[in-house]
Amino acid sequence: MQFPDLAKFSEIDHKIFTRDGGHSEGPYKSLNVSFNVGDNPDMVKLNRRLISNSFDAKNLLFINQVHGEKVLFFSKKDKSPITGQITGDAMVTDRQGLFLGIQTADCQPVLMYEPECGVVANVHSGWRGSIKNIIGSTVEVMKKKAGCRPDRIIAGIGPSLGPCCAEFVNYKDEIPQKFWHNKDKKDYFDFWSISCSQLVEAGVLYENISLSRLCTMCNPDLFYSYRKKNVTGRFASVIGIK
C-alpha cells in the first residue's frame, strides 16, 4: 500500500506491506520481518529479502526498536557502511539508496518526506512513543540536521491500532493527563488524532498529513496485531530515496 501524496514524488519510493506474501508459518504467517518475536530467523531473512527486492534496494535498514525516543540520522556526508545492531525508534536520512524500515503490529509507522531538502524519515510511534512525542523529535532532527522546513514535509500515518480498539483501562497510571481529552467515555484513546496534532505542533501543515484509517486489530487478515493475537509477527513500512 502507498500514500498518494508521497507516491507522486518519483525520486523516492515507499510501501506499507501487509502480512501476506512471505515465507513464515504459524502465528507469524507470512511476511514477518521481526527477529524478536520467536519466528524462524531463516524465514525472516527471506521475508526481508523479498521486501528489499521489491525496491531493488541493496541497503534496507531495520533497527532494534525499544519504544523509546531516540532518533537516528544517517547523513550522506558519512560514507561508511551501516553495520551491527542499531537501537532507536525513528530514522532520518538524506542518503540515496538507503531505505528505512519500521516494524509494527499495532504501533504507528509514520513516514515523512521533505522534497526541497531531499530528506526522508520513518518513525515507530506506539503509545509510549506518542506520550514521549517521538514524532515531534523526528521533525526537530530533520530541521537541525538537514535544514528541513516542517511546512514542506509530507507525512503519512500507516495502519495501526485505531480509536475503535485502543482501550487503556489503566490509563491513569500509563498516560499523562494532558492526553486524556483524546479519550472517549469507555477509556478508548484516539492516538491517530494525537499523532496528527503532534505533527501540526511541529510545523507540518494539516493538509500535508495523510491518515490510512486502517485499524490493525480490526484487520488481522491484512496486518499483524499484537493486541489481537499477542504471539504474532510484525509488518514492514519502508521509505527511501532512490
How far apart are the two ends of the chain, measured CA to CA in Å? 18
Write the pLDDT tens digit of every residue in 187-197.
Answer: 999 999 999 99
The parent domain of residue 44 ranges over 4-241
Q: Half-sphere exposure of 37 toward its Cβ, with a 13 Å CA cutoff?
A: 27
Region 143-165 average pLDDT: 98
- Dump pLDDT digits (tens) for 45-83: 999 999 999 998 789 999 999 999 999 999 999 988 888
Q: Which residues pair with 154 in a beta bridge?
A: 113
Closest CA to 150 of 101, 84, 201: 201
**Cβ 13 vs Cβ 54: under 8 Å:** no
- CA nearest 60: which of 32, 88, 35, 95? 95
- In the chain, the number of structural domains is 1
**CATH number assigned to the domain comprising residue 44:** 3.60.140.10
